[in-house]
């Protein structure tokens, strides 16, 4: 039965660190003769609005006026990472670290850029450097846990997620990713406990319901699996994988009409998905 299940384990990968983010979002265009700090603040505003190209331009202007501003390099690196310009981002984070070697955020952010390039060893090294400077940096534990998970070092991933949760016990993403790792380790009961913690903290977290449903399915508890897939679909009505797997659960219960209806809906939403093509 389980070989037919479409398992989609969505990891939450966020974790870059902005420096000096508390800037109002209504700055006027900078007048001629504006200083480095003015341009830096303008960059923050653009970044918070999602205008990354303009943010990069403003941070660059700030650095022309003050080449020793480690925060501007760090934040420009973040904007470049947001545009998937990871090599340029790494250069900026490295420059920030040269200027200010104790800048934990830059190590964390450079680690994120390395991870985006699938250079997990380098990512882990950077998270470790951040933690050497600040052993209470929960975000770095979380991100290092993600990197360990990608390498298949699940025990180390669990240890880092657990440490992050000790420091930040209300982090739904961390419970979620730890649940994913528990499931990969063949421990669905522990995964279910973590996914349950997620939905207590964030009742609208559709992926947590979905993956708890996957975990219930792996235990052959079809009714609970269907209930969780249904909850995920209430939150996200276009969740193709949830329709597909609920269809499998219905079929395994002998309710073929509902199974076909769910398969059909999954195909309508995601007709070109490889897993749909392989199944049908």
pLDDT digits (tens, 9 = 90+) for 70-106: 999 999 999 999 999 999 999 999 999 999 999 999 9
Task: Assign a CATH topology to domain 20-169.
Answer: 1.25.40
Can 20-169 and 170-280 be said to share one CATH topology?
Answer: yes
Report whether pLDDT(160) > 60: yes
pLDDT (0 to 100) of residue 16: 54
> What average pLDDT does range 151-170 have in this prediction?
98
Architecture of the domain defined by 170-280: Alpha Horseshoe (1.25)
- Region for residue 270 given its phi and psi (left: phi exceeds 0; alpha: psi -120 to 50; beta: otherwise): beta
Average model confidence (pLDDT) across the chain: 90
pLDDT (0 to 100) of residue 280: 53
pLDDT digits (tens, 9 = 90+) for 107-135: 999 999 999 999 999 999 999 999 999 99
pLDDT (0 to 100) of residue 272: 80
> What average pLDDT does range 261-267 have in this prediction?
96
- pLDDT grade for 6, boundaries at 50, 70 and 90: very low
pLDDT (0 to 100) of residue 8: 47
pLDDT (0 to 100) of residue 123: 98
> What ranges do the domains of the chain cover?
20-169, 170-280
pLDDT (0 to 100) of residue 214: 98
pLDDT digits (tens, 9 = 90+) for 59-69: 999 999 999 99
Of the listed ranges 10-14, 90-94, 112-116, 255-259, the one predicted with least confidence: 10-14
pLDDT (0 to 100) of residue 128: 99
pLDDT (0 to 100) of residue 2: 36
pLDDT (0 to 100) of residue 49: 95
> What average pLDDT does range 249-262 have in this prediction?
97
pLDDT (0 to 100) of residue 271: 87
């Amino acid at each position: 039965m389980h070989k037919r299940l479409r398992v989609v384990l969505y990891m939450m990968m966020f974790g870059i660190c902005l420096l000096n983010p508390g800037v109002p979002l209504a700055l006027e265009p900078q007048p001629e003769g504006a200083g480095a700090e003015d341009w830096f603040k303008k960059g923050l505003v653009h970044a918070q609005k999602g205008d990354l190209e303009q943010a990069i331009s403003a941070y660059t202007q700030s650095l022309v006026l003050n080449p020793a501003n480690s925060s501007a390099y760090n934040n420009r690196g973040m904007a470049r990472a947001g545009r998937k310009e990871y090599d340029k981002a790494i250069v900026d984070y490295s420059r920030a670290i040269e200027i200010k070697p104790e800048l934990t955020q830059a190590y964390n952010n450079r680690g994120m850029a390395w991870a985006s390039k699938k250079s997990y060893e380098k990512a882990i090294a950077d998270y470790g450097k951040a933690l050497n400077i600040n052993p209470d940096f929960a975000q770095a534990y979380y991100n290092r846990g993600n990197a360990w998970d990608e390498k298949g070092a699940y025990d180390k991933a669990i240890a880092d997620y657990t440490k992050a949760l000790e420091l930040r016990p209300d982090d739904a993403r961390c419970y979620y990713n730890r649940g994913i790792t528990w499931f990969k380790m063949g421990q669905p009961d522990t995964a279910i406990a973590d996914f349950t913690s997620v939905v207590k903290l964030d009742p609208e977290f559709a992926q947590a319901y979905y993956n708890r449903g996957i975990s219930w399915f792996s235990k052959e508890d079809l009714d609970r699996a269907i209930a969780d897939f249904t909850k995920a679909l209430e939150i996200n009505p276009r969740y193709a994988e949830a329709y597909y797997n609920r269809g499998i659960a219905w079929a395994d219960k002998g309710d073929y009409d509902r199974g076909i209806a769910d398969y059909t809906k999954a195909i309508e939403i995601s007709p070109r998905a490889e897993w749909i093509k392989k199944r049908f």
